Amino acid sequence: MMLAALLATAGVLIVSPAGPYRTITEALERAGPGDRIVVRGGTYREPLLRITKRIELIGEGGPILIGGAHGVLEILADSVVVRGLIIEGIEPSQVEDRAGIRIRGAAACRIEDNVFRDTFFALYAEGARDCLVLRNRIIGPGRTDAGSGNGIHIWRSVRMTVEGNDVRGHRDGMYLEFSPHAALRDNVVVGNARYGLHFMRSDTCRYERNRFEKNGAGVAVMYSRAVSMVGNRFERNWGNAAYGLLLKDISDGEIRDNRFTRNTVGLYLEDSNRNQIQGNTFSGNGWAVRVMANATDNRFERNAFQGNTFDVATNSQSTSSVFDGNWWDRYRGYDLDRDGRGDVPFRPVRLFSLIMEQYEPTVILLRSAFVDMLDAAERLLPVLTPQGLVDSHPLMVRLR
């Protein structure tokens, strides 16, 4: 124990199967504020570990912390750093949200370069502030909604940064609620049972360069204002109720430079108003964009539409959303004055899409000669498709 006391005095406490500390619990009891606990390779089965002091908990050599019928780490102090741990094996519960790491009411913590495997909830933050969640690898159990929690769950927290994480096999890959001013950047969120990102009641958040792929229902962003989603990829979210990105009651947002590829619905807007949708690419989707009648004053500019079954669909013949200066692969107009914009307006809403909104079983006619005839008739005499959903200045050349 003399060596352990000497190391503790120096501010570094070593935990390993051979000592000087054999349990993390003992090292946490002995550590003082500002100390570093280094956990070396091995397997550790301990009670829930509560961090109540400003320390660094650092793994070396891939130490494995196993939960069981309880969570693994609970952080209650500010400025805690947790790095390099493998956390696994937390049993699901119907009565408590067990997590690999839970941040409770703490500020300025860093959770980085850890691996979470089969942890029910991986990281759970509640009442946290100004924390960083960086470069963690999170692998869920791949079970149904009831058997899996969320990968990264943030609730009533402020100014959280989630960057460079890989999240797979959970219920929702990332979930945020009542958490304004968050930033999510460069995350890969793939193969989660419900949503890649489920986001509610969190204003002034920014999502950049994330990839959301093959999640059960795609991404849902709801009940928020001033949300920016820039440079993200929404890919291969297929299913009866699947979307690349669903916006519900989102106002004054920015949806820019994203790629929507091979989704059932690329972008869906319901009761969402005054959003700027610019510079996005919609390719190979069933419906590229669906704008409901209660989504008003949204503006679509400089977007590219290619290879979609339906470019734009709506459930009303009147709308106040505006399409102007987009590129459409189905546009067959001309540009006599050579200003790069078509001289003939383009109507992106196919008549058959309006029929499908009212009678979904008619989808079986989609590839029929009857639908081709409807399209031709509507181009010659456009009287049934919405007058407002017209691109008056379609681009002749795709911008990118």
Q: 44 or 313: which carries more pLDDT confidence?
A: 44
Whole-number average pLDDT of the chain: 91
Does residue 377 carry a pLDDT above 50?
A: yes
Distance CA 351, CA 382 (A): 9
Query: What are the strands of the beta sheet with 218-225, ordered from one edge?
Result: 49-51, 73-75, 99-104, 121-126, 152-155, 174-177, 195-200, 218-225, 243-251, 265-270, 287-291, 310-314
Beta-carbon contacts of residue 196 (< 8 Å; ≥ 6 apart) = 172, 173, 174, 189, 190, 212, 213, 215, 218, 219, 237
66-95 mean pLDDT: 96
Neighbours of 263 (CB within 10 A): 30
Percent of residues, the chain, with pLDDT higher than 90: 78
Band (371; pLDDT cuts 50, 70, 90)? low
Q: Decide yes or no: CATH 2.160.20.10 for domain 12-170.
A: yes
How far apart, in whole angstroms, are the C-alpha atoms of residue 289 and residue 181? 27
Q: How confident is the model at residue 369 (pLDDT cuts 50, 70, 90)?
A: low
Q: What is the pLDDT of residues 107-144, one digit of tens each?
A: 999 999 999 999 999 999 999 999 999 999 999 988 76
In the chain, where the domains are located: 12-170
- pLDDT-derived band at 209, boundaries 50, 70, 90: very high
**311 pLDDT above the threshold of 60:** yes
**Position 6 confidence tier, pLDDT thresholds 50, 70, 90:** very low
Using the 8-state DSSP alphabet, how is residue 30 labeled?
H
- pLDDT of 362 > 90? The answer is no
**CA atoms of 213 and 218, how far apart (whole Å):** 8
pLDDT tens, position by position, 232-254: 999 999 988 899 999 999 999 99
Predicted local distance difference test score (pLDDT) of residue 241 = 82
3-state secondary structure of 21: strand
* Segment 282-298 mean pLDDT: 94
Q: Apex CA 333: angle with CA 332 and CA 335, to 5°?
A: 140
**Placement of tokens 């690419």 in the chain:** 281
Q: Is 354 exposed, middle or buried (0-12, 13-18, 19+ CB in 10 A)?
A: buried
